[in-house]
């Protein structure tokens, strides 16, 4: 088989593996909290927020800014964890390959 044929076959296999990993990442979640657990954010490893839970005791109208900050903090932590997992899983597929835009 020519080197182009091998490369095409390898690229098709890599694409299939990446699609499988993306499906798995969409089902995998991470959790982050802030404010001593007053806010909990669950993010999917495909980069989407799955849920936000707020302790009712944190719902003080005079502290709305503090609550907003806690939500942003927890969401950013959860999304950061999700991105690390996603990058690691996708990196397994492209390991050893020097392809621009992958890994």
CATH of the domain at 70: 3.30.1310.10
Instruction: Report how far residue 64's alpha carbon sits from residue 41's, in angstroms, rounded to the nearest whole number.
Output: 17
* Rounded CA separation 11/94 (Å): 10
Phi-psi region of 47 (alpha: psi -120 to 50; beta: other; left: phi over 0): left
pTM of the model as a whole: 0.75
Q: List per-residue pLDDT tens for the chain, 103 residues long.
A: 578 888 888 888 888 988 999 999 999 999 999 999 999 999 999 999 999 999 999 898 898 999 999 999 999 999 999 999 999 988 887 776 655 555 4
Give a yes or no: residue 101 inside a domain.
no
Q: Which domain holds residue 21?
A: 3-94
- Total number of domains constituting the chain: 1
User: Nearest CA to 24 among 42, 44, 10, 41?
Assistant: 44
- List the structure tokens of 20: 């499988």
């Amino acid at each position: 088989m020519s080197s182009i044929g091998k490369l095409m076959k390898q690229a098709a296999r890599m694409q299939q593996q990446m699609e499988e990993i993306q499906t798995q990442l969409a089902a995998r979640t991470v959790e982050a909290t802030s404010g001593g657990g007053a806010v909990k954010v669950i993010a999917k490893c495909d980069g989407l927020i799955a849920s936000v839970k707020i302790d009712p005791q944190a719902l003080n109208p005079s502290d709305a800014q503090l609550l907003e900050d806690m939500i942003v903090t927890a969401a950013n932590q959860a999304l950061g964890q999700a991105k690390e997992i996603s990058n690691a899983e996708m990196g397994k597929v492209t390991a050893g390959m020097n392809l621009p835009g992958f890994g």
